[in-house]
């Protein structure tokens, strides 16, 4: 894999930070390329070298977080649900600004559906309807139920500004997953 110039990485990071900061101040629809340019301290032309428009920037930012979550899931595949959700919730804590914006009304409407689709993919890997507590059940019902429950719990946690520490969220979510999968 070719090495990426540090200046490019620094510019892209500045733009990702700028969009998150600006979304905490105003609606995404009200953010202009000039706003992004000013906040990231780069020229408008530089933005267009990296992204087609502000929607492309947001789309790539969302996709990078979904990819990170997917990689975390692969890395913790051998752990039990409680240990795995500890690592997952730590990622949420570290990226609180981004995720809280995405699940609140200021966020991107497409984020919820992309996040839910990601959860469905991950839960599907864990469901076993050939033996155990879910033997003979409809796999799709279980997948949809568990993925929607996780999405709802994560949304509740961010919308209510972390009403419990991420460790408590992870432990209880892990135990609930153990009960149901």
To which residue do tokens 């997953």 refer?
Answer: 177
**Domains plus CATH for the chain?**
1-51 (1.10.10.60), 66-180 (no CATH)
- Please give the helix or strand (H or E) that residue 149 lies within, else none: helix 139-159
Rounded CA separation 163/145 (Å): 23
pTM: 0.89
Per-residue pLDDT of the chain (181 residues; tens, 9 = 90+): 677 789 999 999 999 999 999 999 998 999 999 999 999 999 999 999 999 999 999 999 999 999 999 999 898 888 899 999 999 999 999 999 999 999 886 667 789 899 999 999 999 999 989 999 999 999 999 999 999 999 999 999 999 999 999 999 999 999 999 998 8
- In sequence order, what are the residues at sequence separation of 6 or more whose Cβ sits closer than 8 angstroms to the Cβ of residue 81? 173, 174, 175, 177, 178, 181
How many CB atoms are located within 10 Å of the residue 96 CB? Answer: 15
Rounded CA separation 149/71 (Å): 21
User: What pLDDT shows up at residue 1?
Assistant: 62
């Amino acid at each position: 894999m070719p090495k990426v110039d540090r200046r490019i990485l620094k510019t892209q990071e500045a733009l990702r930070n700028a969009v998150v900061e600006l979304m905490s101040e105003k609606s995404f629809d009200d953010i202009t390329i000039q706003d992004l340019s000013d906040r990231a301290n780069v020229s408008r032309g530089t933005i267009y070298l990296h992204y087609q428009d502000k929607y492309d920037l947001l789309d790539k930012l969302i996709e990078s977080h979904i990819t990170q979550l997917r990689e975390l899931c692969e890395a913790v595949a051998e752990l039990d649900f409680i240990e795995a959700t500890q690592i997952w919730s730590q990622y949420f804590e570290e990226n609180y600004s981004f995720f809280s914006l995405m699940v609140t009304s200021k966020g991107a409407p497409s984020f919820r559906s992309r996040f839910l689709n990601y959860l469905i993919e991950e839960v599907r890997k864990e469901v076993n309807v050939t033996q155990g507590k879910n033997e003979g059940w409809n796999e799709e019902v279980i997948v949809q139920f568990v993925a929607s429950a996780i999405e709802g719990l994560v949304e509740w946690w961010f919308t209510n500004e972390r009403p419990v520490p991420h460790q408590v969220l992870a432990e209880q979510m892990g135990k609930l997953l153990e009960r149901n999968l």
